[in-house]
Amino acid sequence: MAIRYIPAVAKKKWVLCFPPLILAINIFEAAIRDFQCFTYGAWNGAYVDNLWVMSGPWNIMNGIAGILNIIAICGWVGIFVSKDKTKDMIWPWIIAYDLWNFAYTYNCIADHSFYCGLALLLSCTIPAFFIKKGAWLQHRAQTLGLWIMFVMTVPSFVDRIAPVPTTHDPKAYKQVVEENK
């Protein structure tokens, strides 16, 4: 917000390192979670802390992909604030994160992946391509913040009120691995 609304802050190039740094920390935390899900040994799927997970090589692959995603974050000095009245923060790095993040949500919080994966990612990616090009970073922060506030206020929403469970079929996970051998 300071980058958007305090012009003196936005002019300092070193300040532009904070949004991608925060994103990198978030990705690293999720990569650690992917590795953790592998260590559960839930090879045929299991509920761990009220979340359905299935351990497998996909956890390791996605954890490594997360680390590569951090390394690939680019365009840090390309962040700028638009000159219009919205003062949107513009940064063009989108698709790599979206693909990785959806895989993370499916691997580690499978039954929540429709909302916190697909719907949440599309809600910031579609506007970034068709409404305000490049404003994904700002939209991602806002939609994620709103989602977290909602789900913390109504925690039963994804599990009881409007669940969208995944298949829970080990064959669905293992088929992808078998086909890639």
Question: How confident is the chain (181 residues) per 10-residue block, as mean pLDDT?
Answer: 81 82 91 97 92 93 92 69 77 78 91 89 88 80 90 89 86 67 59
CA-to-CA dists, residue 163 to 160, 166, 173, angstroms? 6, 10, 20
How would you class 5 by CB atoms within 10 Å of its CB: exposed for 0-12, middle for 13-18, buried for 19 or more?
A: exposed
CA atoms of 48 and 36, how far apart (whole Å): 11
CA angle, corner 101, sides to 95 and 104, nearest 5? 150
Residue with tokens 């698709």: 95
Q: What is the pLDDT of residue 45?
A: 92
State pLDDT tens for residues 135-174: 787 788 888 889 999 999 998 888 888 888 888 888 877 7
**Model-level pTM?**
0.80
Q: What is the pLDDT of residue 92?
A: 62
What are the residues whose beta carbons fall under 8 Å from the beta carbon of 172, sequence distance 6 or more?
Answer: 166
Q: What is the pLDDT of residue 77?
A: 61
